[in-house]
Amino acid sequence: MTKYLTLLPLSAILVLTHLVFAQDKTQRGFEIYSQICVTCHGPNLDGGIGPSLVDAYWKHGDTSDAIMRSITKGITGTEMIAYEYVYSEEDRQAVTDFILDRQEGNRQTLRSLYSRDYFKGKRLTPELFDSVESDSQGILPENFLYTKRAFDGVLRGQSKIFIKQSGKYRFEVNLHGRTSIWLNGEEMHYTNVEKSRDTYFSKQFQLDAGIHDLEVLHEEPTGHSMRFNARLRKVGGGFWMLTGKSLEGNIPKIIRPGSQAKVIRKWIDGLPPRTLLVLLPNQVMVAYDSASGQILKAWKSALVNQTPSLDNRSQNQSVAKGQEIAGAGGTVLKGKEFNLLHYETKGDSVLISSLVDGMNKNFTVSPEGTDSFTVTLQ
């Protein structure tokens, strides 16, 4: 039998080498994140005493350079210290790459606003906008488009869309004013309420996992505050809003029990910063200190008055409210060194995993009756 050796072309070898190198960097970033970042930002990057690193709001910037700068220099007035002399530049970049690898939806949103007159009677295209200087321009930390109520002009939004799952997608846009949406240099949607519907189109298109260039061009009818709404939808799946309202200074949010258990990782008034609040369907809430392995308190008829999740988030304390349950506190896990590994809601219960003195320990918090709870060691 004759055996043949197939040789890959140099280009293919270089691509494979790049992929392996990228995976190694992401793995290194995950390892460092698990050591130093998880306590504040959570095992799923969804926040705790520090902000979420996977939602759309990025107060200090969501580009690679901005995230790297936050890790390197820290953020004054917060618990985010500088790691410039703790980890090498390569390691800090690995953490940055790991965070970017977890993103999904609209990011790096640049909004430019223009006077209306220049665009009158002209088809909205990126080339037209490139031919005139904007009246104002700025990065939107919310990562969706909005204008102030009194704005009377034309808007251009430029951003990156992070896609985790390849598949069919489409834009969903309300018919208000005129709108043109471009993806990777191709127009995917066009509507103009002043023209015949025969001129409208909205394509369904294939998107591969990765990062894509998005442009949203929109002119609101004269005399209206912005009523334009647009979102990107995965066919048969979820969607990401491209428009909305400014989220700065939003009011506190009341978190109430639901049909499923909830875990709240916010800075709670009167409790240590590493506390998990487990809110059960029977309206009982349990405060577990992940730094000591103890249940500190529990309440019935409970809810949380949560500080805004955006501007000033994690700088003001949220408040746990309810009727305190006498004698509810106690030790769950015994040890000297505690590291929170993971938590997961399972129907009406919550599973919590910790590393205690180097050993993996798990327990479940579940509702009992109408005003109590049980803790079960795994």
Stronger pLDDT, 40 or 230, i.e. the higher one: 230
Q: Which residue type does 351 have?
A: L
Tally the C-alpha atoms within 13 A of residue 296's C-alpha that lie toward its C-beta: 18
Partners of residue 331 on adjacent β-strands: 294
* CA nearest to 318, candidates 306, 330, 334: 306
Q: Which residue type does 8 have?
A: L
Instruction: Give 108-135 pLDDT, tens digit per residue.
Output: 999 999 999 999 989 999 999 999 999 9
Report the b/e string of 250-271 with b at 16+ CB within 10 A.
eeeeebebeeebbbbbbbbeeb
Percent of the residues in the chain that have a pLDDT greater than 70, as a whole number: 86
- Give this prediction's pTM: 0.61
Q: What gap in Å lies between CA 296 and CA 184, rounded to an integer?
A: 52
Q: Which structure tokens are listed for 365?
A: 């918090």
Stronger pLDDT, 253 or 68, i.e. the higher one: 68
pLDDT of residue 25: 66
pLDDT of residue 207: 94
Domains identified in the chain and CATH numbers: 10-101 (1.10.760.10), 105-241 (2.60.120.1560), 253-377 (no CATH)
Q: How confident is residue 175, by pLDDT bands cut at 50, 70 and 90?
A: confident
pLDDT of residue 17: 46
Q: Which residues contact 282 (CB under 8 A, 6 or more apart)?
A: 257, 348, 367, 368, 369, 370, 371, 372, 373
Instruction: Give 315-329 pLDDT, tens digit per residue.
Output: 456 778 889 999 999
Q: Dihedrals φ, ψ of 296, to 5°?
A: -90, -45
pLDDT of residue 177: 85
- Per-residue pLDDT for 290 more than 70? yes
Mean pLDDT of 266-280: 86
Instruction: Give 24-82 pLDDT, tens digit per residue.
Output: 667 999 999 998 898 788 888 887 667 788 888 888 888 999 999 999 999 887 778 89
Q: Coil, helix or strand for 372?
A: strand
Query: Which is it for the CA torsion 115, 116, 121, 125, positive or negative?
Result: positive
Stronger pLDDT, 163 or 51, i.e. the higher one: 163
Mean pLDDT of 133-143: 90
pLDDT of residue 148: 73
pLDDT of residue 29: 92
Mean pLDDT of 253-277: 84
Q: What gap in Å lies between CA 168 and CA 237, rounded to an integer?
A: 10
Q: How confident is residue 15, by pLDDT bands cut at 50, 70 and 90?
A: very low
Mean pLDDT of 346-353: 94
pLDDT of residue 225: 60
Residue 208: count of CB within 10 angstroms of its CB: 9
- Per the CB < 8 A criterion, the answer to whether 341 and 352 are in contact is no
Least confident of 40-54, 197-211, 239-253: 239-253
- Per the CB < 8 A criterion, the answer to whether 257 and 282 are in contact is yes
- Per-residue pLDDT for 182 more than 50? yes
Stronger pLDDT, 254 or 289, i.e. the higher one: 289
pLDDT of residue 368: 95
pLDDT of residue 308: 53
pLDDT of residue 269: 79
Stronger pLDDT, 233 or 197, i.e. the higher one: 233
Determine the Cα angle at 171 with ends 218 and 114, to 5°: 15
- Per-residue pLDDT for 309 more than 70? no
